[in-house]
A and B are shown apart, each in its own frame.
Chain A
Amino acid sequence: NAGVTQTPKFQVLKTGQSMTLQCAQDMNHEYMSWYRQDPGMGLRLIHYSVGAGITDQGEVPNGYNVSRSTTEDFPLRLLSAAPSQTSVYFCASSYSGKETQYFGPGTRLLVL
Chain B
Amino acid sequence: EDQVTQSPEALRLQEGESSSLNCSYTVSGLRGLFWYRQDPGKGPEFLFTLYSAGEEKEKERLKATLTKKESFLHITAPKPEDSATYLCAVQGARSYNTDKLIFGTGTRLQVFP
Contact = CB atoms under 8 A, between A and B. Distances in A.
Chain B associates with chain A: yes
Interface of A: 4, 6, 31, 33, 40-45, 48, 50, 56, 58-59, 90, 94, 96-98, 100-106, 108
B101 interface: yes
Nearest to A105: B43
A58 B49 contact: no
Task: Place the interface of chain B in its size category.
Answer: 20 to 34
B100 A42 contact: no
Contact of A98 (B41, B46, B99, B104): B99
Interface in B17-57: 31-32, 34, 36, 41-46, 49
Residue in A40, A42, A90 whose Cβ sees the most chain B Cβ within 10 Å: A42
B46 A42 contact: no
A106 B101 contact: no
B107 interface: no
B101 A105 contact: no
A97 B99 contact: yes
Contact of B98 (A42, A48, A100, A105): A48
